[in-house]
A and B are shown apart, each in its own frame.
Chain A
Amino acid sequence: MFALGVEFLMGRAIITRVDNREEPEWPPHPDRVFMALVAAWGEAGEDADQRAALEWLEKLPAPEIAVPLDVSTRTPFTSYVPVNDDGSPMGKKGPFGPMGSLPLGRNRQPRQFPAVAPASPTFFLQWEVDVPANLRPALERVCGLVTYLGHSASPVRMWVADQLPDDAPISLQPDDNRATVRLRVFGSGRTAYLKNRFDANLRPQPSLWQGYAPPRTESNADVIEGPFDPGLFVFRELPGNRRYALESCGIIADAIRRELMRRHGPNVQNAPEWLSGHAADGSPSKLSRPAYVPLGFVGHDHADGHLLGVAIAVPNDFEHTAELFRLLSAHDGKNPHEIDAGVPYLSMTVRNPHLENREIGQFDLELDERPEGRRQFTLKTFTWTNPSRIWTTVTPVMLSQFPRRELGTEDVIVKACLDAGYPEPVAVRVSSAPLVRGVPHSRAFHVKPRGGRPPRPLTHAQIEFPIRVRGPVLIGAGRYAGYGVCRPSHEDQS
């Protein structure tokens, strides 16, 4: 590996954002460092070896960055600087005031010099490759020619380092999925582009943008595994369906269960307990079994809660995964979506038990085999499984017993967590109103009739565990049927 080290010699940086001249840019963008290198190369005589080194550097992937993120911003202020296009001491409203020691006045215009004082004046761009021995001297020389970064009042020294010092750990990694900041990076051809723009007396345009995120701090020591396998089977909705809202979570789960039972065989009585959800005597099964998790579009400014897909979560100790997968793939291949036989695919007619089991539409799903990075946020596995201490319901928890005076709703939820195999929460907050943007009110959800008995109560909740728990987190009586699905708090990830 190697790294480019940069030290702000004044202990602070005057460095302007590309999109807002009144705000400082921090962290410094990798392309800014590259442009300083190209400028140094150009002004010092355009050495051929140095250009070769820069052209090698520009082809490297986006670097990891070791930069102090703890910075103090100087109070933004406006300076008035004397202009030079007009030397007249007279303005429209009379003479300008004198300037310092100079008894003459001059028109002055506002300028901003936004500054930051980082906790440490040094930062590094790091790559996992080594500098080829033949290019290293030229790269070192061109680094030694760099005078400033940002404004000329921010002199720097720059060097090639073989390893990062212990007090400068990587603080940002290229990561589009979890990006907390977007930085300009350089790419192939940047040296030639910058040189051409300079020769044409044009300012360079900003280059590629890359998302950066702090490195994952997961150490498994402080993460507890949940009862379900974090590797979800994610199915995405196929075109041609009507839109289903999160409220339909129960009937969708039921439709999937029925479809899989149908594929298992004509005799429903033969369906195993893990599939039917009923014990041999017809009572609800106590076995842990696959859970059907509705993937609703939530937690975003425009979120409306509609289903983008469904995930199937299997318990950690589940022994029938192969059989389940066989059922998911067991279709005839004759379908409007041209999904080949043997590829997991579900096509169901959804019935609404509240409307005398009338058909309310078709729901077609296929296994989402795209890489995680190319899926919508809702369809990414980690959106539902990232370890977190705080989890908030997306579909309401179905309580297994009615709260009473001496047994509050919170207590029922604590018990539900323990029953489902999660640690005992340290805090539970319940609410009928949704706690995540785009989620419907708990009363909007359908509850399966229970043959004369009152339906189980539903409530939204926010649950705080004493330790980070890896998802999926599914709790309550309806956890296998789409209820009690929680989402990790993304503020709690770091």
Chain B
Amino acid sequence: MPTDPTLSYDDLKAAVAGSSAAFRLTLKLEAVSPKVFPPTYEGGKYATEDRNINGQKLPCVLLDSVPSQANRMELALQDAIDGGLFQLPLVSVNFAAVDNPGIPKITSLQAPHRIADAILRDSTIGEGKKPAKFRESEIGKELDKLSTGYATPLLDYAPHCLVFGMWDSTGPRGGLGVKFARALVSEIIGVNAVAGVTSSSRIDPLNIRVNSGTLYKAKGGGWTLDSELAEKDPKTKKAVLLGKDGKPSEANHGNVTPDLVYRKDKNGNLVLGDSERPVMMVVFDNEQERGHKYVIRDERKPIAKGGFTIDYAEQTTVLSLPALRRLRFPAKSGEKSTPEGDNAARTYLAALGLLGATLAVEAGYDLRSRCILRATNVVTWHLLGKPGDADKPFVLDKAAAIKLYNDALAAVQKAKLPIHLEEIILTPSDDLVTLVKKSMELAAAEAGTEG
């Protein structure tokens, strides 16, 4: 069987320069375990829909949303950069001052709003007594001039913002700040999704019973069975119970009776029925005795939350080429761009998008707890031209995607467009550091009391 050609730099450049609409990847994935657990939204809801697949209407469920896929691709890029596989312009904030191993630094690939994020905005650049605020620095002022006609500063410092989208909503222009729509969109759905039920239970190896004793909150933390050693309520002078009622389960001991898992709203209450309104039934009871007795019943039942079994999952990723064609890259603000420079920069962005998607595929699909997928086919992108024209297939693996990216990067450099490959490191403002420190302490304290 002849294999499809690998996507080369020349193919990509021709596609970007031409009039093709998009690259699309349709990847079939299989669930590793028989059941998958999609993300739940407010009210414990799953996002389900019907899709018309091969002429058949099949129930489907959303397994990974567009923003989530973008974050996974950005993380995959970050991991590969950390591994030294290639270079990408990045701006990062160094949080070494916080003294917490969790956040040594946050890069523009990790911050939610990318280079326009508040974390970067509230940081400074450079040395000296009074270092400049990031958005007031040379780089920051360049960002203020951004538009589709002058996208060069983003190419220079954070090109992924042009691929995954960005809105400079808190810059000097506020809500009117520049917006770049995402060029890369990806989503994973589970096909022929049949809802299931799942149960929860815990068997305590020590077999501690509910009645075996009352637990009190001990002085200095932890719990005790001795009411003398317990904390005393300042008003009633009585020993304070652990948790609500002092049961062993408050200290995570004892059995949990097996039961089905039900949907709960954000307050932890069971969600009843599918409709928002309660379904009340008036039942005529005791009819034979002519007793006019009405019984009102709530016919709603809690909704089981048990994941789905699926035939297969499908990832659809689209890289829109017109979105990239809108961008222009003059060397300086106010100047005219050259067709060669524009095309080199657009091809580079397309290569970056394809690389992000490829790295995310290679990183696997451990989407969340109990939702692991794996690809069953080779990654084959299709170049979509005009409707009616046959789609052109291209395969792309990790090595080829990195080579494609590096070729595109070299072309940008050859076109004499600015691209800053050395990581720019910012220092968070003292106030931000204090906030983060305080937040970490509070979070740690809360975590301690819960156990």
Q: Are A87 and B122 in contact (CB under 8 A)?
A: yes
Asked if B113 and A11 sit within 8 Å, CB to CB, the answer is no
Known A-B contacts A77-B42, A144-B19; A72 and B322 likewise in contact (beta carbons under 8 Å): no
- Residues on A with beta carbons closer than 8 Å to the beta carbon of B118: 84-87
At the interface with chain B, which of A2-10, A294-302, A408-416?
A2-10
The reply to whether B170 and A159 contact each other, CB–CB distance below 8 Å, is no
A157 to B176, CA, bound (A): 27
Q: Is the CB of A9 within 8 A of B47?
A: no
Cα distance, A85 to B174, chains bound together (Å): 9
| Bound complex: CA A99 to CA B111 (Å) | 10
The yes or no answer to B67 lying at the interface (CB within 8 A) is yes
Within the assembled complex, what's the spacing in Å between the Cα atoms of A44 and B106? Answer: 34
The residues in A between 105 and 142 inclusive whose CB is less than 8 angstroms from any CB of B are 105-106, 110, 113, 115-120, 122
Task: Choose the segment among B209-217, B244-252, B406-414, B439-447 that binds chain A (4+ C-beta atoms closer than 8 Å).
Answer: B439-447
At the interface, yes or no: A179 with Cβ under 8 Å from chain B?
A: no
Say whether A75 contacts B170, CB under 8 Å: no
A265 interfacial contact with B, CB 8 Å: no
Known: A9-B22, A9-B384, A72-B50. A117 touches B65 (CB 8 A): no
A88 at interface, CB cutoff 8 A: yes
B139 at the interface (CB under 8 A from A): no
Complex Cα gap A118–B57 (Å): 10
B60 touches A117 (CB 8 A): yes
- Segment 132-180 of A: residues with Cβ below 8 Å from B: 144-148, 152-155, 157, 159, 161
Cβ-based interface call for B293 (8 A): no
Chain B 115-127 near chain A by CB (<8 Å), digits 1 or 0:
0111101100000
B53 to chain A, nearest CB (A): 9
* Bound Cα distance from A19 to B316, whole angstroms: 30
A9 touching B176 in the complex, CB below 8 Å, given contacts A74-B48, A117-B50: no
The yes or no answer to B185 lying at the interface (CB within 8 A) is yes
Interface check B102, CB cutoff 8 A: yes
Instruction: Determine whether the beta carbon of A106 is less than 8 Å from that of B323.
Output: no
The 0/1 profile, CB within 8 Å of A marked 1, for residues 136-179 of chain B is 00000000000011000000000000000100011000001000
- The residue of chain A having its C-beta at the shortest distance from the C-beta of B176 within the complex is A201
* Pairwise interchain contact B112-A89, C-beta atoms closer than 8 A: no
Using CB atoms, name the residue of chain B closest to A79: B41
- B117 with A84: CB separation less than 8 A: yes
| Cβ contact within 8 Å between B21 and A40 | no
Query: What residues of chain A lie closer than 8 Å to B263, measured between beta carbons?
Result: none
Docked Cα-Cα span, A155 to B60, in Å, equals 20
Please, how many angstroms separate the alpha-carbon atoms of A159 and B66 in the complex?
25
Residues on B with C-beta less than 8 A from A81 are 67
Interface size on A, residues (CB 8 A): 61
Given that A78-B41, A87-B117, A89-B436 are known contacts, is A148 also in contact with B181, CB under 8 Å in the complex? yes
Contact at B47–A74, with CB atoms within 8 Å?
A: yes
Which residues of A are found within 8 Å of B238, using beta-carbon distances?
none
CB distance from B41 to the nearest CB of A (A): 4
Partner among B48, B316, B323 whose Cβ is within 8 Å of the Cβ of A147: B323
Flag whether A489 is at the interface (Cβ < 8 A).
no
B326 touches A147 (CB 8 A): yes
Alpha-carbon distance between A436 and B446 when the two chains are bound, in angstroms = 65
Nearest CB of A to B14, in Å = 15
**Contact in complex: A155, B318 (CB < 8 Å):** yes
> CB < 8 Å: which of A44, A80, A154 contacts B326?
A44
Task: Kindly state the separation between the CA atoms of A144 and B113 in the bound complex, as whole angstroms.
Answer: 29
Is A104 interfacial (CB-CB < 8 Å)?
A: yes
Contact of B103 among A43, A103, A159 (CB under 8 A): A103
A51 in contact (CB, < 8 A): no
Given A104-B106, A159-B386, does the pair A75, B45 have CB atoms closer than 8 Å? yes
List the B side residues contacting A157 at CB < 8 Å: 21-22, 384, 387
Specify which chain B residues have a CB less than 8 angstroms from the CB of A201 in the assembled complex: 176
- Residues on A with C-beta less than 8 A from B110 are 101-102
A45 with B149, Cβ < 8 A, contacts A87-B118, A88-B435, A157-B22 known: yes
**Chain A CB within 8 A of B30 CB:** no
| List of A residues within 8 angstroms of B121 by Cβ | 87
CA distance in complex: A101, B182 (Å)? 21
B224 at the interface (CB under 8 A from A): no
Which residues of chain B are within 8 angstroms of A74 by Cβ–Cβ distance? 47-49, 62
Add 8 more A-B contacts to A10-B318, A74-B48, A95-B440 (CB < 8 A): A10-B185, A74-B47, A81-B67, A85-B170, A117-B60, A145-B325, A146-B322, A157-B22
Can you report 14 residue pairs joining A to B where beta carbons are below 8 Å apart? A9-B185, A77-B42, A79-B65, A90-B439, A102-B110, A103-B100, A110-B42, A117-B49, A119-B52, A148-B320, A155-B22, A155-B318, A157-B22, A159-B387
Chain B residues engaging chain A, CB cutoff 8 angstroms: 19, 21-22, 24, 41-43, 45-52, 57, 60, 62, 65-67, 71, 75, 100, 102-103, 106, 110-113, 116-119, 121-122, 148-149, 165, 169-170, 176, 181-183, 185, 187, 316, 318, 320, 322-323, 325-326, 328, 384, 386-387, 432, 435-436, 438-440, 442-443, 446
